[in-house]
């Protein structure tokens, strides 16, 4: 079975802090994705990566950056957290077609 | 860009009832996925279905790509079917990016 893990289920941070969300997959997938989920908006793509050190912006990249130094790990970085970044963050990976999701990190920025 | 719309937004069923969820998409897509998000937030793959019909137990899905819609059927619903059902259109060539609908919130009552 494909396994995608995320570093935290729940996270509380203060405005202005730098926040790191980690995602690890164990299936040697090329593609990895970061989404955020907000009520009434579904899931929206923040960034994705199709190879080590390669990244592309998704639909809502503002305020975020990413890092992919190893194939199995994709990190989402909030350089200076703001209250409007309070959300559920979901990581996914895929090889060719189906995307597999991690359990999500619920981030609250106070 | 591609628009994905789901209906109904909310649905309440009695245990044992059947239901049909609909997903319309605005443009040609490479493929379509259906997901179930359980009450703990985990997104679970249900179907990857570019066209035709697939069945998995009490669930089945049909995609008519030429008419740009997909249907998810749930038969003999159970309380464990509760949660949010998302469809997502696959686009973007090899990277297989997803555009999500806003979901259908299903509550199955005993």
pLDDT tens-place string over residues A56-72: 999 999 999 999 999 99
Token duo for residue A37: 């989920």
**B102 and A40: CB-CB below 8 Å?**
yes
Give the DSSP per-residue string, A16-53. Answer: T--EEEEEEESS--SEEEEEEEETTTEEEEEEEEEETT
What is the predicted pLDDT for the residue at B92?
A: 66
pLDDT tens-place string over residues A28-84: 999 999 999 998 888 999 999 999 989 999 999 999 999 999 999 999 999 999 999
**A43 and B98: CB-CB below 8 Å?**
yes
Interface test with A, best of B98, B99, B103 (most A CBs within 10 A): B98
Average of per-residue pLDDT across B3-29: 93
User: Number of C-alpha atoms within 13 angstroms, CB side, residue A65?
Assistant: 6
Which residues, 6 or more positions from A39, have their beta carbon under 8 angstroms from its beta carbon?
A: none
pLDDT surpasses 80 at B30 = no
> How distant is the Cα of B29 from the closest Cα of chain A, in angstroms?
13
Q: By CA distance, what is A43's nearest residue in B?
A: B100
């Amino acid at each position: 079975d494909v396994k995608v893990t995320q570093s935290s289920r729940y996270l509380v941070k203060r405005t202005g802090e730098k926040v790191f969300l980690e995602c690890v997959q164990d299936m040697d997938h090329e593609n990895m994705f970061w989404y955020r989920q907000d009520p009434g908006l579904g899931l929206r793509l923040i960034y994705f990566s199709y190879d080590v050190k390669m990244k592309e912006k998704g639909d809502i990249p503002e305020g975020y950056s990413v890092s992919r130094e190893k194939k199995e790990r994709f990190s989402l970085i909030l350089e200076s957290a703001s209250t409007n970044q309070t959300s559920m963050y979901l990581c996914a990976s895929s090889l060719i077609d189906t995307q597999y999701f991690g359990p999500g990190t619920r981030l609250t920025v106070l | 860009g591609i628009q994905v719309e789901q209906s109904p937004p909310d649905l309440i069923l009695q245990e044992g009832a059947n239901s049909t969820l609909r997903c319309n998409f605005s443009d040609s897509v490479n493929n379509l996925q259906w997901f179930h998000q359980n009450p703990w937030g985990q997104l679970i793959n249900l179907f990857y279905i570019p066209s035709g019909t697939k069945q998995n137990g009490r669930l089945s899905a049909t995609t008519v790509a030429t008419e740009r819609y997909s249907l998810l059927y749930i038969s003999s619903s159970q309380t464990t079917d509760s949660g949010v059902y998302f469809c997502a259109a696959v686009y973007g060539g090899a990277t297989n990016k997803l555009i999500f609908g806003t979901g259908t919130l299903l509550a199955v009552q005993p």
